[in-house]
Amino acid sequence: MAIRTSIGASRGRLISQLLTESVLSALIAGVLGIGLAFSLQGLLPRLMPLHDLGITSVSMDTRVLLFALLLSLLTGLIFGIVPAWRGSPANVSDFLRSGSRAIGTGGSTRLRNNLVSIQVALSVLLLVGAGLLLRSYSRLTMVDPGFNPQNLLTAELQLPVGDYTGAAQRYQAFSGIVEETEALPGVVSASLIDRLPLRDSGGDIYIWDADQPPVDPSEWQTAYARLVMPDYFETMQIPIMAGRDIETADMSSQRLIVVINQQLAETIFPDQFPIGKRLAVGTGDDATVFEVVGLVGNTRVYHVSSDPYRAMYFPYIFSPAANMRIAIRTSGPAAAMVQPVRDTLGRIDRNIPLAEPLAMEEIIADSLGTWRIISSLLAVFALIALFLAATGLYGVLAYYVSSRSHEIGVRMALGAQASSVVGMIVKRGMLLVGIGLVVGIGGALGTNRLLADLLYEVGFGDVLTFVVVGLFLTVIALLACLLPGRRAAKLDPVRSLQVD
């Protein structure tokens, strides 16, 4: 009875010791992780485009630190209890009499193998997601917005309403600003629009063919309405496909004219030459009929990922607003012209500020910020997961080599070649990787549908992404398998066969 009690106590002490070591290891890892986070917190904003979200610095939060430490403690408890219980022999006397060289059981071995396969599967999920988003981002950067964004400065101009009350006053003020701006060295051309593409959306209104009105008002189409000054299309480098641009003479003419884009022409005047056609704009009896005098190329209005939409451009004088956007085509970097333009405005009227000056390339880059941030975060998490999976695979195979050193020694004593020993280890490791790959790819095909709204011209089942991820992970896994394999091949058969 005393012996059994002693054996039971020994098992309890062993479990307690293993559990204590697990918890301490987890806490030490948590503390080291927090220290690493403190040292890298200044690096994160530089590695990821967090400035797109208005984040310029990252600081630690006490609640986050406490949560991290608590999570480390729970990790040590959860992943320490089961291995400690399963790894300690139920009958210590039988275990001692057996002379076993390892305490691992078939169940614990399967658990380790399953954990490695799960790590590989999670790595595949994250790598595929990051790959799809990176491919989408790459495609978005190559999208033609319909105009030339290079060397193009944009800003907002707001006339003081009390000082410029009439249409003629506002037109003269804006014309003077454009004229003075174009006279600056480094400025190629300038013009104004009430809503810039990719910067201002909205402003849509009903339209139809005035000569063939739809019977049912539900068949009316909509289009974006824009007010522009002369030379707008030249400044933006939007191609004029037919007809003409809006000219200075249109600002004093009573003639109702409009320039439309290709998308509108194909919708309202299909298979027809649109120049000279009559376009009804508005609703019901309040609709106004305009003559189409120009046809221009499509532009991305809302976002570079959105399809071109119907748009029409009216002379500014048709509805002279006090708030306009200026577009300035420069011969050099657009940002260099901000101060000269601001000084020019100060000479014309100090009450007209140059608000929100931005290069169009910057506007486009900011519009892609969501893709960059999410793909960057996924890529970082995927690489961390891949590192953990490779480390876990190496650990499992290293333990396998250590626990089977006697068997490996027998094989080598009987004439087994080093290459066959390495192949045995690699085969075992790659089997775990293969299972993880299959599970991960299946999971990716299902869960990546969640990314459908963030993908652009890339399907969630994109073959190239899956192939690249599979090859990349296989190469990393092979390296993790070869290290224990080479160690096994270098075992001394004589020492391995010695009985401890």
Single out the residue in 351, 379, 412 at which a domain terminates.
351
Q: What is the mean pLDDT of residues 162-181?
A: 91
Domain tally, the chain: 3
Indicate the pLDDT class of residue 96, thresholds 50, 70 and 90.
Answer: very low
In-domain check, residue 356: no
**Residues 253 and 390 occupy one common structural domain:** no
**Residues 277 and 322 occupy one common structural domain:** yes
Q: Are strands 221-228 and 311-315 parallel, antiparallel or unpaired?
A: parallel
Ramachandran assignment for 245, one of left (phi > 0), alpha (psi -120 to 50 degrees), beta (any other): beta
CA atoms within 13 A on the CB side of 390: 17
In-domain check, residue 360: no
**Residues 243 and 337 occupy one common structural domain:** yes
**Residues 128 and 215 occupy one common structural domain:** no
In-domain check, residue 426: yes
Q: What's the distance, Cα to Cα, between the start and end of the chain in Å?
A: 30
**Residues 246 and 296 occupy one common structural domain:** yes
Indicate the pLDDT class of residue 89, thresholds 50, 70 and 90.
Answer: low
Two tokens, residue 69: 């430490």
In-domain check, residue 41: yes
In-domain check, residue 291: yes
More confident residue, 372 or 476: 476
Of all helices (H) and strands (E), which one includes residue 94? helix 92-98
| Structural domain range at position 119 | 101-144+368-500
Q: How many residues does the chain have?
A: 500
Q: What is the mean pLDDT of residues 349-370?
A: 87
**Residues 292 and 394 occupy one common structural domain:** no
In-domain check, residue 150: no
pLDDT digit string (tens) for 276-296? 999 999 876 778 999 999 999
In-domain check, residue 277: yes
Using the predicted structure, report yes or no on whether residue 17 has a pLDDT greater than 50.
yes
**Residues 216 and 237 occupy one common structural domain:** yes
d(CA 315, CA 312): 10
- DSSP string computed for 182-206: HTSTTEEEEEEESS-TTT----EEE
**Residues 397 and 307 occupy one common structural domain:** no
**Residues 220 and 309 occupy one common structural domain:** yes
Nearest Cα neighbor of 101 from 382, 341, 359, 407 is: 407
**Residues 186 and 319 occupy one common structural domain:** yes
pTM > 0.75: no
- Whether the Cβ atoms of residue 198 and residue 364 lie closer than 8 Å to each other: yes
pLDDT digit string (tens) for 185-210? 999 999 999 999 988 877 889 999 99
**Residues 64 and 210 occupy one common structural domain:** no
Indicate the pLDDT class of residue 123, thresholds 50, 70 and 90.
Answer: confident
Two tokens, residue 121: 């599967």
For residue 165, how many other CB atoms are within 10 A of its CB?
12
More confident residue, 116 or 309: 309
In-domain check, residue 318: yes
Single out the residue in 351, 382, 402 at which a domain terminates.
351
Strand partners, 105: none
Using the predicted structure, report yes or no on whether residue 490 has a pLDDT greater than 50.
yes
**Residues 46 and 110 occupy one common structural domain:** no
pLDDT digit string (tens) for 29-81? 777 777 777 776 666 666 565 555 556 666 667 777 777 778 777 776 776 66
In the block, residue with structure tokens 């969630």? 460
Q: What is the mean pLDDT of residues 158-163?
A: 86
